[in-house]
């Protein structure tokens, strides 16, 4: 068997480039060094003065989290694929003989970033990069939310009642191992799906209600470029509309219009937007027990054309990166969803830069 040489590896990498290596495009377009100040502060690695093995570079570890998010990988699978794939090694700047972080190191990196609450700073750091590149929030904003699944919990009704009240069930308090595996923040809710046409051609009288367990990702995107500008993570049963008044609106957008579905239509929200200088384009609800007036129906249809753009964001996150919360607790879920939002913005940035280059 022929022994692999340096030029064989270079030839293989060149072929990967020719086939369209997304990670290579990331390296070429995204300046990952902008994240270094936030990463160094949050990870707080020692300076090595006390000896021991030197820590991995913070930017390298962040790029590993990007790989993990892009491919929806567990920590163990991430370790294996970094060792296995040349494209991953090139993205990370690692050679075949270089030391690779193991699964425990990747887990500890995420844990430190989560405990430091670093995800907001990292998100804002890349948002500043987008603005500096000329992608300012323009033409108004669109709000929506999507459910993000988490591992289901098998709790009794009494335990569920305790969790809803913010209490730790008594049976869990003296079992730290069990408590560490119980997600006390995720919630059950009903996910409504349009009913499909029956075999005989008739339509069911009501939509399907599917039980769902996990969290909810709330976002505000700008209408012009469709970047996520504001975001928030809650449990799955949280109200969509109430989040509008909790920092989800972007005051830096060059236009004041706000699009959203009927879940965001309330007097409190309308008054809040008016006081803050926003113009509501939120869908109007159907009057109770009355047909929808034709002029409102026509207005809602026009708003839907614009509002539907936010659905593309969620579709991209779930189809391309398989957005799913593997961890336990709202803090780690926020970290996971925040990383997914950063990666979405990176992918969108690559797409727009490619369009501009070909124009």
pLDDT band at 321 (very low <50, low <70, confident <90, very high): confident
**346: enclosing H helix or E strand:** helix 330-358
Q: How far is the C-alpha of 311 from the C-alpha of 18, rounded, in Å?
A: 32
pLDDT band at 156 (very low <50, low <70, confident <90, very high): confident
**How do strand 279-282 and strand 257-260 relate by DSSP bridges?**
parallel
Q: So what's the pLDDT on residue 299? A: 93
Please name each of the domains of the chain with its CATH number: 7-116 (no CATH), 121-150+186-358 (3.30.420.10)
Question: Quick check: 84 pLDDT over 80?
Answer: yes
Residue 230 corresponds to which tokens in the numbers above? 């504001």
Q: So what's the pLDDT on residue 205? A: 65
pLDDT band at 1 (very low <50, low <70, confident <90, very high): very low
Q: So what's the pLDDT on residue 351? A: 94
pLDDT band at 221 (very low <50, low <70, confident <90, very high): very high
**179: enclosing H helix or E strand:** helix 176-180
| Mean pLDDT, rounded, for 158-166 | 84
**310: enclosing H helix or E strand:** helix 309-320
The model's pTM = 0.90
Q: What is the mean pLDDT of the chain?
A: 89
Question: Quick check: 222 pLDDT over 50?
Answer: yes
| Mean pLDDT, rounded, for 20-30 | 88
| Mean pLDDT, rounded, for 301-307 | 93
Q: So what's the pLDDT on residue 83? A: 93
Q: So what's the pLDDT on residue 172? A: 85
């Amino acid at each position: 068997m022929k022994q692999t040489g340096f030029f064989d590896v270079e030839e293989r990498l060149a072929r990967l480039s020719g086939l369209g290596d997304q990670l290579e495009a990331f390296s070429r377009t995204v300046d990952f060094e902008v994240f270094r100040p936030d990463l160094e502060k949050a990870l707080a690695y020692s300076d090595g003065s006390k000896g021991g093995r030197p820590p991995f570079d913070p930017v390298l570890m962040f790029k590993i989290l990007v790989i993990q998010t892009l491919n929806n990988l567990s920590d163990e699978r991430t370790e294996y694929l970094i060792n296995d794939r040349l494209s991953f090694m090139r993205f990370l700047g690692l050679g075949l003989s270089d030391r690779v972080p193991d699964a425990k190191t990747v887990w500890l990196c995420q844990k430190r970033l989560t405990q430091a609450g670093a995800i907001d700073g990292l998100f804002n750091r890349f948002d500043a990069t987008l603005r500096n590149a000329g992608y300012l929030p323009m033409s108004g904003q669109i709000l929506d939310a999507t459910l993000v699944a988490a591992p289901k919990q098998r709790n009794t009704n009494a335990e569920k009642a305790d969790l809803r009240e913010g209490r730790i069930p008594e049976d869990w308090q003296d079992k730290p191992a069990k408590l560490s595996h119980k997600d006390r923040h995720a919630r059950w809710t009903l996910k409504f799906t349009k009913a499909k046409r029956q075999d005989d051609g008739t339509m069911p009288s009501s939509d399907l209600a599917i039980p769902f367990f996990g969290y909810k990702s709330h976002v505000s995107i700008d209408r012009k470029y469709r970047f996520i500008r504001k975001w928030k993570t809650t449990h799955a049963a949280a109200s969509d509309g109430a989040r509008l008044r909790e920092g989800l609106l972007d005051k830096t957008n060059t236009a004041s219009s706000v699009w959203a579905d009927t879940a965001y239509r309330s007097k409190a929200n309308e008054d809040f937007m008016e006081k803050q200088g926003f113009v509501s384009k939120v869908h109007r609800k159907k009057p109770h027990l009355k047909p929808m007036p034709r002029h409102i129906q026509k207005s809602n249809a026009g708003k839907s054309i614009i509002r539907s753009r936010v659905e593309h964001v969620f579709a991209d996150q779930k189809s391309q990166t398989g957005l799913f919360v593997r961890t336990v607790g709202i803090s780690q879920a926020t970290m996971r969803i925040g990383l997914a939002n950063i990666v979405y913005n990176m992918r969108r940035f690559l797409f727009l830069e490619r369009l501009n280059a070909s124009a």
